[in-house]
Amino acid sequence: MAMAFKMATTGMWVTDECKNSFMEMKWKKVHRYIVFKIDEKSRLVTVDKVGGPGEGYDDLAASLPTDDCRYAVFDFDFVTVDNCRKSKIFFIAWSPTASRIRAKMLYATSKDGLRRVLDGIHYEVQATDPTEMGIDVIKDKAN
């Protein structure tokens, strides 16, 4: 079995694929976003979807299910008022109102463990519907 990182509070394991994909996004810029999901049977946090460098925030939002929870990280590139290019990594905890209560509880209790494994996140957004994680919210937090 591949190496995994245990989240002590929930007994969940984060696969090394999650950490490796995040590091590729952070340092090599080969991914624009990564969506993670929890497999309840195997108790593993795994990569659900990876967005290529040409994809945008709308592609990330469209890839999140309307009836199940997910975690996502998004690499947001922007230009400051001083005309300086910057990049900030956002962690998004997606927990739509239509998802099962058990899933909401599982994702809520496992979130901090995953964040500890993914070193280098600048901001966190928690959303239950698309308006709570719109691009305007991301831009406001980045500036």
- Across the range 10-38, mean pLDDT stands at 93
pLDDT for 37-53, tens place per residue? 999 999 999 999 999 99
pLDDT for 99-123, tens place per residue? 999 999 999 999 998 999 999 999 9
* Strand 4-7 relative to strand 12-15, pairing: antiparallel
What per-residue confidence (pLDDT) applies to 4?
Answer: 58
- DSSP letter assigned to residue 26: I
Degrees, nearest 5: CA angle 6-31-97: 65
Q: Provide, for the chain, the percentages of residues in helix, strand and coil under a 3-state DSSP scheme, each rounded to the nearest 5.
A: 35, 35, 30
